[in-house]
Amino acid sequence: MIFEISVFLTLLFIGYISGTLIEKRHYKSIREREEELKTLPTTVLKKPLQEDGIKSCKLVNGSVVISIDYFKKFLAMLINFFGGNISSYETLLDRARREAILRLKEDAKDASEIINLRIETSSITKNTMNSVGAVEVLAFGTAIYR
Amino acid sequence: MKYNASLPDDKVNIPKDNLLFLALKLLFSLAVLIAIFYVVLKFTLDTIVTHLPVSYEKKLTSLVSFDLNITDGRSSKYLDEITETLSKCASLPYEVKTFIISENTPNAFALPGGIMYITEGMLKKLKNQNELVAIMGHEMGHFKNRDHLKGFGNAMIVSVISLLLGEGYGGILNASLNISNAKFSQSAEFESDIFALDVMQCAYGNVTDATKLFARLDKGEDWRYFLASHPTFKDRIDRMNNHILEQNYNTTDEVIPLKKF
């Protein structure tokens, strides 16, 4: 029993420490890259901002799979019991979304703009305690070249 | 149309909660909820158990098959005699039957329906009849307080709570409930010890050597007793000695030697 508790607490501790570190580092990288790619116009419009002079277009996409750590999963379960917004998943999905868009932009660095941006989310595994909880976010759109 | 290059606003989609604090807060609330649930259920069950008619208990017992090889148990005239003598003083709601099972671990236990088991291993540890009487008196104390049923009630509550919460919470929940269970059964052990002394004094007119067996079994392993169902032997001996002094029980009579089981 003491063994069970200590395994559980160790997993929680490792999950919390590693999860926090990884998240911090990821956000730092996301912000730097967003700043760098800020000038590439990306919209959800169906038509380009300027319709003249288009030479070519291509489908671009960026996808990312992010896994949840033990601590966040446990916290989500706790919140699940009481209700409320699962804030431990919110940062995870925010990171995934922004990372996916960044990867899409990196796929089309020399484009003049990206239109019709779409984002889709799917959970890779259903979130039970004993399976791997991970989320995939796919961003796709049309890159316009002038 | 002019494209306005801007960065996502971090304040919108990133929750500001401190996750660790949130986790602690929720864990605490959950613990409080479980505690309330446990106390209410336990109180209800204990009330039911203390008022459960004996005939009903026997009916229930016949429905449950125990994980023990009861066919192994043999009765002994000698033990029956002691049981009878003690029963006169104990005024139990049952007719208690005592059986010996061939098991080397020294142990004795009370099962619902008034069945008492003593292992061969326990009998081998005994040096005289007084020690045997003390043990049997102790088990009778469990019958008197209906601890054997309360034990089942406790096990039931724990499994109900674990079922409700699902496996996820696993270890930590069971552990915390086990601790409170252990505390419950420690106090039950103390009560039974005192009961054993009362019955022994009443039936044989002395309590000589009643604590001797415990003194011999005491190995001084204090550290694990926080989680154990039984208190330390030292604590038990101390409490028994206190009771003997308070009640001024006779401890000077000669011990009765053991007969053949």
Put simply, the answer to whether A35 touches B174 (Cβ < 8 Å) is no
What is the tens place of the pLDDT at every residue in A51-94? 888 999 999 999 999 988 888 888 888 888 888 888 888 999 99
- Residues of chain B in contact with residue A48, where contact means CB-CB under 8 angstroms, are none
Half-sphere exposure of B23 (CA within 13 A, CB side): 17
Partner-chain residue, chosen from B3, B5, B170, that has the shortest CB–CB distance to A49: B3
Determine the distance in angstroms separating the CA of A72 from the nearest CA of chain B, rounded to an integer.
8
CATH architecture of A2-145: 2-Layer Sandwich (3.30)
Mean pLDDT of A113-131: 79
Q: Examine the pLDDT at A30 and tell me if it is beyond 90.
A: yes
Question: Which residues are CB-neighbours of B155 under 8 A, at least 6 positions away?
Answer: none
- A108: tokens are 């089309």
What is the distance between the alpha carbons of residues A61 and B16, in angstroms, rounded to a whole number?
Answer: 30
How far off is chain A from B57, nearest CA to CA, in Å?
32
- In this prediction, residue B224 carries a pLDDT of 45
Distance between B11 CA and the closest CA of chain A, angstroms: 11
Model-wide pTM > 0.80:
no
**Calpha distance B82→B138 (Å, rounded):** 13
CB–CB contact A4 B22 (8 Å): no
Choose, out of B11, B30, B169, B225, the residue to mutate when testing the contact with A (most A CBs < 10 Å).
Answer: B169
> A121 by DSSP, 3-state: which?
strand
What percent helix, strand, coil does chain A show, rounded to 5?
45, 25, 30
Contact B7 A31 (CB under 8 A): yes
pLDDT per position as a tens digit, B22-78 = 989 988 998 898 889 888 988 888 888 778 787 777 777 666 655 555 556 788 888
Does B7 lie at the interface with A, CB-CB under 8 angstroms?
Answer: yes
Q: Quick one: tokens of B103?
A: 């098991």
Rg (CA), chain A: 19
Tell me whether residues A78 and B1 touch, CB distance under 8 A.
no
Q: Please judge whether B3 and A79 are an interchain contact, meaning their C-beta atoms are less than 8 angstroms apart.
A: no
Task: Say yes or no: B160 contacts chain A, CB-CB below 8 A.
Answer: no
Domains of chain A by residue range: 2-145
Q: Do A98 and B8 touch (CB under 8 A)?
A: yes
Smallest CA–CA separation between A113 and chain B, in Å?
Answer: 10
How does pLDDT run across B130-181, given as a tens digit for each residue? 888 888 888 888 888 887 777 777 777 777 777 776 655 555 556 566 665 6
**Interface confidence (ipTM) of the complex:** 0.77
Residues from chain B that touch A81, judged by Cβ atoms under 8 A, are: 26, 30, 165
